[in-house]
A and B are shown apart, each in its own frame.
Chain A
Amino acid sequence: MKTIQKIRDGKFSVELHTFGSGDPLLYLHGAGGLLGIDPFLEELGKNFKVIAPHLPGFGESTGGDQIDDVIDAALFYHQLMDELGIDSAHLVGHSIGGMLAAEVAALDVHRAKKLVLVGAAGFWIDETPIPDFFALDLSELGSYLFHDPKSAFAQMFLAVPQDMNALADMYVERVKRLSMASKFLWPIPDRGLKKRAYRIAAPTLVLWGSSDRLIPPVYANEFTKHIKHAKVQMIDAAGHMLPYEQPDAFCKAVTGFLKG
């Protein structure tokens, strides 16, 4: 179900998608935002109350000018939880959503019951640099995001509308999303999580697609190195878009960990 939630006296307007019932699970999306077709969220809704907000700058959410950096973004999620009446929740974050979920959990250790980080950004290894996501041409993007760029889902994701107005709209939406994402990722996606991650108290699952070519799987070890109670699980035949490419394996791993 989609709703619009005004928070901070209307400074933020947040597009929320909710699924199912159970313990609250806050899902933090990646740099592409929620796609509107996110079957794994419905699936997780069978066991949890899934709350998936769009970050300002994404979808219909507004108030992006209030957010300059990862700290502002983490405090936005704290505020949103407060105004939704959720003291703590399971946090599941994908890509930049993983980076922000880790910050949410580090800055206020009581917010996260358990933490799932999926192909998460937030660290930088000189020996294994992350490709410059912002400079990738659409024609190159597929091979970085997907285990199988030829799959039906990947093709749909990468499709470009023929209609000029639709194309302009798509371009504007992309600019809005990536403008916000650039506040956390540009030019190097390291905003000091390594200094703060020691605070994370929640049991943490670090999930990675074994053929992630955008943030290579070696980055999973950075999270276990810096977070006290973290373990890694690799999922085969999945790239950076793991939740979309292997929704069953993804949901099984997440549910198993959160219920376990």
Chain B
Amino acid sequence: MKFTWFHLMPYRYLPEGFKDKYRSVWVDIPRDLYDPKVGHRLYNDYLDQLEFADQMGFDGLGVNEHHQNAYGLMPSPNIMGAAMARRTRHANLVILGNSIALYNPPVRVAEEFAMLDVISGGRLVAGFPVGTSMDTNFCYGEVPATLREKYYEAHDLIIKAWTEPDVFAFNGKYTKLRYVNLWPKPLQQPHPPIWIPGGGSVETWDFVAEHDYQYSFLSYFGYIAGKKVADGYWNVMAKKGKELNPYSLGFAQVVAVADTDEEAERLYAPHMDYFYNRCLHVYNGFADAPGYRTVSTIRAGVLAQVGKEAALRREGLTWKDFVNEGYVIAGSPKTVRERLTHAMKSLNCGHLMILQQIGSMPPELVRKNTELFAREVMPHMRGMWPGFVDKWSPNPLPESERAMPAPINFTRKPTTNGKTAHAAAAATAAESRSAK
């Protein structure tokens, strides 16, 4: 069993009554709700948390891309990947991922992912989501009807850019390039492992099976509701004669560990409420642009993750319901061990994307949650899935061959008057400001 510690990076300070006062947390949320000084603290807290997870022995650190929202503040997860590449050692960088249809030309993604792979010594997982309708259609203006076609073309271009030994020309419908010649090329050869995050579109499963990628189901409904999608995925894999290898499925699950079940409710319930009632408060009109989901997915009866339908399903749910229905796996280490083992078995899932910071959860609680999980739960689940080989994790350079960041020391280089270079520079800047 592999564990990726996943961060959504929410804005933690949406006001009380947000749901009643504002129509959406995404797309047209008022800008004055964002305070960049608070944002400064949040980004740095969140990076600390990811780095902590690395030190606690998680296999991967997960980040993803969203736009114009307070649910997840990473328009560019690659920036987080770059920060982590320098300050983490062991864990893989699971960038889940870049919405490749949005970039013009998409080789930009091939380049940035190659940079991250090279800087990190081959620790990158390259995620290629289509992206939510809010992000792609409403924020980035992509025509819903052609989004998927553009996505597939971008995928083909990126793979070719990574694998083709010579300069080539690319005559696509959406991208035309005379010279494609990727510098740098990725460290992992032929390219980093590719994970496809999805919300249950049926054609994504065919695509994953065809290319032998890993499918990561990022559900907000927990493992019980998620089982329908997982079963759909395994059915497709079985029909195509693929090995039903648990490592080819990732699943996102909120997990909250405390000393006792009662303490879990007391500590985490308010943050679950914040997550479901503020972070996921998406205006129905933005949930699913016409043409974003294909007719076959709609016919398959897969529910949209956000919007009115999803909100109705969650309406009036209490902590007890969230626990019983599996939206969150919470409680003492023993309870979490049992339920999570059961959940992963029932999904046949080998890559857990664990969400341990959720909604308004403050840093000290995130640390407690992460540490308890790493010490009391993770070791007990490691041995699940004997006999299966994880073909979807990175293959980094051995640590002995990896470059390490030089130690940081700001007291070096004193100037003649005894100040550090840093302080001297600050003083000069202040002087020039007052001169103006």
Contact = CB atoms under 8 A, between A and B. Distances in A.
Given A172-B299, A175-B298, A176-B295, A183 B146 contact: yes
A136 interface: yes
A175 B146 contact: no
Contacts of A188: 141
A236 interface: no
A57 to B, nearest CB: 9
B303 interface: no
Interface of B: 137-138, 141, 143-146, 283-286, 289-291, 293, 295, 298-299, 308
A186 B285 contact: no
A117 to B, nearest CB: 23
A28 interface: no
A186 B299 contact: no
Interface of A: 68, 132, 134-137, 168, 171-172, 174-183, 186-188
Given A172-B299, A177-B290, 4 more contacts: A135-B286, A179-B290, A182-B143, A186-B137
Given A172-B298, A182-B143, A186-B137, A135 B283 contact: yes
Contacts of B298: 168, 171-172, 175
25 contacts: A134-B289, A134-B290, A135-B138, A135-B286, A135-B289, A137-B285, A137-B308, A168-B299, A172-B298, A175-B293, A175-B295, A176-B295, A179-B144, A180-B145, A181-B290, A182-B144, A183-B143, A183-B146, A186-B137, A186-B141, A186-B143, A187-B137, A187-B138, A187-B141, A187-B143
Nearest to B286: A135
B367 to A, nearest CB: 40
Contacts of A134: 285, 289-290
A186 B143 CA distance: 6
Contact of B291 (A132, A171, A178): A178
A176 B289 CA distance: 11
B146 A68 contact: yes
B30 to A, nearest CB: 17
B297 to A, nearest CB: 10
Contact of B284 (A137, A176, A181, A182): A137
Given A174-B290, A175-B290, A176-B295, A182 B141 contact: no
Contacts of A187: 137-138, 141, 143
A134 B308 CA distance: 15
A242 to B, nearest CB: 23
Contacts of B293: 175
* Residue in A68, A136, A188 with the greatest tally of chain B CB atoms within 10 Å: A68
A172 B300 CA distance: 12
B428 to A, nearest CB: 45
A186 B284 contact: no
Given A135-B138, A186-B143, A179 B291 contact: yes
B263 to A, nearest CB: 41
Contact of A182 (B285, B290, B295, B308): B290
Contact of A172 (B283, B284, B295): B295
A133 to B, nearest CB: 10
Contacts of B308: 137
Contacts of A182: 143-145, 289-291
A135 B295 contact: no
Nearest to A64: B145
A179 B145 CA distance: 5
Top 6 nearest A-B pairs by Cβ distance? A179-B291, A178-B290, A135-B285, A179-B145, A187-B141, A186-B143
Contacts of A178: 290-291
Contacts of B284: 137
Nearest to B293: A175
B27 to A, nearest CB: 8
Contacts of B283: 135
Contacts of B138: 135, 187
A45 B159 CA distance: 57
A63 B83 CA distance: 48
Most-contacted residue by chain A among B293, B299, B308 (CB, 10 A): B299
A23 to B, nearest CB: 35
A149 B266 CA distance: 49
A214 B285 CA distance: 16
A188 B141 CA distance: 9
Contacts of A136: 285
A5 B290 CA distance: 27
Contacts of B144: 179, 182, 186
Contacts of B295: 172, 175-176
Nearest to A169: B299
A141 to B, nearest CB: 10
A183 B291 CA distance: 10
A178 B146 CA distance: 12
Contacts of B289: 134-135, 182, 186
A181 B291 CA distance: 10
A190 to B, nearest CB: 12
Nearest to B285: A135
A158 to B, nearest CB: 15
Contacts of A68: 146
Nearest to A179: B291
A187 B286 CA distance: 13
Give the interface centre of A175, A177, A178 by most chain B CB atoms within 10 Å. A175
A175 B291 contact: yes
B243 to A, nearest CB: 34
Nearest to B307: A137
Most buried by B among A132, A134, A135, A171: A135
A171 B301 CA distance: 12
A42 to B, nearest CB: 30
Q: Among B286, B291, B295, B308, find the residue whose CB has the most chain A CB atoms closer than 10 A.
A: B291
Contacts of A174: 290
B156 to A, nearest CB: 18
